[in-house]
């Protein structure tokens, strides 16, 4: 089962692709240009050039499920948030549905359902995530929505929590999110569910699957 990774060149995307390759899970990394291909080719990871703001459909060829971990990034404006985090995610979900993929695995955000409670500069992003998640949940493709808390660059503890009360904080490392993604990819019976992800003290198998 080949997984298309949209946002493969991002921080979570790269870590997930490398983990999947090491675990023998076939992935196809979607990148925007040939200049981004070197890192993946060095690791024997298949790539495809496609664009969330342009041609996209061909990237799905030969794939059974999709991971969406793309993001417009903190240095762009609301225009890119609309085109990538919202419309890009919706386009990808519609294509996954049309092509009969087995699952669409979305990296969303903790409390995306309450965008007006986010810091002002984060509100457009949270609103985009909320709308994209709602579209996915109402589409015809089976889905899994992962909602990580505040992202950090700490190493992978591979230990998780599913509530702020359990975790004692609202953060999770990008490395741990990548490990959670790998677990979901390797657990095909998990469908049509949402999970909050935080750093904690439990293995991911106790939270998901």
**Active-site choice (87, 104, 125, 143):** 125
The tokens describing 63, both together, are: 């794939």
104 is annotated as an active-site residue: no
Exposed/middle/buried for 18, CB within 10 Å: 0-12, 13-18, 19+?
middle
For the chain, the farthest-separated pair of C-alpha atoms sits apart, in whole angstroms, at 44
Strands 143-148 and 103-107: parallel
- What are the residues facing 138 on neighbouring strands? none
The tokens describing 82, both together, are: 């609309």
Tell me if 127 sits within 8 A of 89, measured CB to CB.
Answer: no
CA 49, 53, 57, 59: dihedral to nearest 10 degrees?
A: 20
SS3 content of the chain, % helix, strand, coil (to 5): 40, 20, 40
Q: What residues are annotated to the active site? A: 125
């Amino acid at each position: 089962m080949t997984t298309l990774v949209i946002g493969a060149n991002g921080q979570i995307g790269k870590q997930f692709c490398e983990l999947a390759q090491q675990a023998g899970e076939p992935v196809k990394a979607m990148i925007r240009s040939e200049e981004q291909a070197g890192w993946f080719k060095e690791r024997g990871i298949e790539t495809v050039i496609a664009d969330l703001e342009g041609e996209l459909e061909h990237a799905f060829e030969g794939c059974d499920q999709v991971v969406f971990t793309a993001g417009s990034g903190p240095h762009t404006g609301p225009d890119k948030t609309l085109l990538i985090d919202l419309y890009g995610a919706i386009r990808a979900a519609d294509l996954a549905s049309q092509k009969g993929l087995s699952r669409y695995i979305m990296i969303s955000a903790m409390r995306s359902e309450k965008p007006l409670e986010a810091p002002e500069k984060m509100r457009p992003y949270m609103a985009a995530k909320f709308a994209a998640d709602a579209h996915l949940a109402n589409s015809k493709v089976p889905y899994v929505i992962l909602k990580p808390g505040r992202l950090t660059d700490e190493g992978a503890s591979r230990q998780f929590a599913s509530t702020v009360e359990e975790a004692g904080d609202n953060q999770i490392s990008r490395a741990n999110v990548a490990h959670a993604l790998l677990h979901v990819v390797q657990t095909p019976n998990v469908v049509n569910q949402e999970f909050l992800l935080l750093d904690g003290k439990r293995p991911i198998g106790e939270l998901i699957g």
